[in-house]
Amino acid sequence: MDVYIDDHKLIEEINKLHYRQFLEVHISPDDKDILVVFGSSDVPEPNYAFDEYNRSIWKYSLASKSWIQMTSPEEDSSKVAWCPLGLKIAFVYLNNGQKELGIMNRDGSDRRILTQSTFGGRDPFNGTTLCWSPNSQHLAYVVMPNGSKYGLAKKMKEKYRNPDDITIYKGGDDLYKKMRLELSVFESELHLIDVNTLEDRKVLSVKEKMIKLEQWFPEGNSLLISIGDELCRLNLDNGQCTSLYKGRIELTQMIGSEILMARRAANEIQAGKITDGEFQIENAVHSPGYNNQLHTWSNDGKYIVFSAQNGVTNALYTFSRANSQVNQITPINHAVWSPRHRAGAKSFHYS
């Protein structure tokens, strides 16, 4: 059945609504403003593969209940991070056809580009994480110089699907070996950049594994990072990486020097600490639904916020570390997470 709507204003409004998929949510350190990254996953498949969504950053004021658009969809801005003092915002955006890191003031003024990328990959910041130092002077970021695993896989598939270049491989694993060789160029790098002087230093490089930034240690010269399935402490002065835990890593949170972690197991939510190289489970609760998603720790480490599905929708829950009590905090008929609206819940800092 074909549907034709001869109403340009209505079509424009529908497109606007469809564009606003909640892809990221970030609360300011003083709990006064919320940054939201809007976008749409309905883009051509090649763009989707290379993390190109035409995203834009908007700021919502909790006091005035008003929205301000900070960047345009053409800039495809994402990976937003508030500095600890709440005065600056870091983000990834499209600049002259190349993804770069930038910062701007809280009100969107004094926008500056931090990097001058010369990476060979089309999507070097696909899946990256940004993390400010406690004094707001440095920004740690992860980059994939040859492109992301997803992007490399896309290029590989296009190469071997070319109907004009058909090769018959004899022997069981010839094609598999060639594909593995293509993907073996994947590497991730951790950089530290001074946001004032723009001095950019590569601290760590890892072949065939993804580095993820978790959090700064309180003293400010070390980072908690994950490399694949290994949780490590990285000394930024000498580049030494000390293994803290190896296994399945999900939702971490540092309270002082204590490392908390929550993870899913079957239909259970587990909470505990990383101690002596092990995940020590302190509490575990049965989930009230299925398709569980871990969203965030409360900033004091007392609660875990997660969603669980019931039927076609889901609800948001809190899990108390103190008494293992699970409380439902949103109605069951209000979806709080989906693959299209994947920002999830975030915790305020003082409430």
Tell the residue number behind the tokens 């409004």, with chain if given.
13
Rg (CA), the chain: 22
Pairwise CA distance, residues 258 & 290, whole Å:
30
Per-residue pLDDT of the chain (351 residues; tens, 9 = 90+): 333 434 455 445 545 555 678 999 999 999 999 999 998 877 777 787 888 888 999 999 999 999 999 999 999 999 999 999 999 999 999 998 899 999 999 999 999 999 998 898 889 999 898 999 999 999 999 999 999 988 888 877 777 665 555 555 554 556 666 667 777 889 999 999 999 999 999 999 999 999 999 999 998 899 999 999 999 999 999 999 999 999 999 999 999 889 999 999 988 999 999 999 999 999 999 999 999 999 999 999 999 999 999 888 999 999 999 999 999 999 988 889 888 888 889 999 875
Pairwise CA distance, residues 252 & 260, whole Å:
6
Return the axis-axis angle of helices 174-183 and 149-160, rounded to nearest 10°. Answer: 140
Pairwise CA distance, residues 351 & 345, whole Å:
14
Domain boundaries, the chain: 253-351
CB distance 94 to 115 below 8 Å: no
pLDDT at position 46: 76
- 3-state DSSP percent of the chain in helix, strand and coil, to 5: 10, 45, 45
Whole-angstrom CA distances from 39 to 15, 16, 20, 140, 313 are: 11, 10, 6, 25, 22
Element (H, E) at 152: helix 149-160
Pairwise CA distance, residues 52 & 94, whole Å:
9
CB distance 93 to 180 below 8 Å: no
Instruction: Give the neighbor-by-neighbor strand order of the sheet with 278-286.
Output: 251-255, 258-265, 268-275, 278-286
pLDDT at position 181: 73
